[in-house]
Amino acid sequence: MKKFCLDLTVVSVSKINDRYVLIKLTHNEELPQMEPGQFVEVRVDGSPTTFLRRPISINFVDRKNNQLWLLVATVGDGTHKMAQLKEGEILNCVLPLGKSFTMPQQQEKYLLVGGGVGTAPMLYLGEQLKKMGCAPTFLLGARSQKDLLELDYFEPLGRLFVTTEDGTAGEKGFVTNHSILQNETFDRICVCGPTPMMKAVAQYARQKNIECEVSLENMMACGVGACLCCVEKTTEGNLCVCTDGPVFNIKQLLWQS
Ligand code: FES
C-alpha cells in the first residue's frame, strides 16, 4: 500500500477527559486510502525531547469531511505537545502504516474489544464493518466511567457494551467477565488495549475456537521496519510490529495464556 508524507491541517483538538484528546486533521487534497488497524507516524515539532515520530492509531476517517481523527493519550512530552495544537496548525504525518484487521468475506459476527486508548482503532473498524453489512458488537472496558472514550460515536455503529473496574458504568469488572461472552458466540474477535487484557481475551477466543486478532502496541521508532525496536517473537520467527503488524492473529503469537 502506497505511503504518503503529508502536512495535515488541524481542524480541532478536543479534550475528552484529563488524559485524552481527539485531534481532527484535514488535507487540501483527498486523504489517501486507509484501513482499520493501520497507524500514522506523527512528527512532533517544537518538543526538545521528542526526536522520533510518534505512532498513533487511526481512530476514524471521515470521508464526508475529508478528515483523519487521532485519539491521543497525553502520556509524554510529545503527546502533550500534540494536545496543545491549535486550529490551522500543521501536523506532518506518514501514513498509512502497518497491516489492518481482517475484513469479512461473508456475513460474519464480529466482536470488537477495546480498552483504554486501544478503543481508538475500533471506531474506524466498526464503521467499515457496518458499511459492509456486518454491524459489530463492541465491548469496551475502562477503569471508571470517566475513562470510557467516544461512546457517542460508537453507539450508532452496532451494539455497545461496557465494563468498568469500579462499576460506575456497564458491568463491573474486566471485559473478559462480561456476560455477553457467556451468553453469545462470535465468528471473530478483534482486540486492542493493554497486554493483559488482550491476553485474557485471546485465551477466551482460543478456548472457544474463535478467530482472534490483536493489535500490538510494542515500542516503535521508525515505523517502517528499519530500526527493529518493535520486534515480536512469533511462530514465524521475529516479526516487526510496525510492518508485519500491528495486527496479528493470535495463532502467530507465542502467548501461553
Ligand atoms: Fe522500527 Fe518497527 S519501529 S522496525
The pLDDT, as a whole number, for residue 217 is: 86
Mean pLDDT for back-to-back runs of 10 residues, the chain (257 residues) = 95 93 97 97 81 91 98 90 95 96 94 94 98 96 93 97 96 94 95 94 95 92 88 94 95 82
The pLDDT, as a whole number, for residue 240 is: 93
The pLDDT, as a whole number, for residue 93 is: 96
40 and 70 in contact (C-beta within 8 Å)?
A: yes
Select from 52, 53, 222 the residue to mutate for testing ligand 1; criterion: most ligand atoms less than 8 Å from CB: 222
Closest ligand 1 atom to 230 CA: 2
Instruction: Measure Cα distances from 50 to 54, 71, 79, 140, 174 in Å.
Output: 9, 19, 9, 31, 34
Closest ligand 1 atom to 55 CA: 3
Which residues, judged by CB distance below 6 Å to any ligand atom, belong to the binding site of ligand 1?
220-223, 225-230, 240, 242
68 and 94 in contact (C-beta within 8 Å)?
A: no
Closest ligand 1 atom to 241 CA: 2
Predicted structure pTM score: 0.95
Select from 41, 56, 227, 244 the residue to mutate for testing ligand 1; criterion: most ligand atoms less than 8 Å from CB: 227
User: Residues 134-167, buried b or exposed e (16+ Cβ, 10 A)?
Assistant: bbbbbbbbbeeeebbbbeebbeebbebbbbbeee
Sign of CA dihedral 236, 241, 245, 248: positive
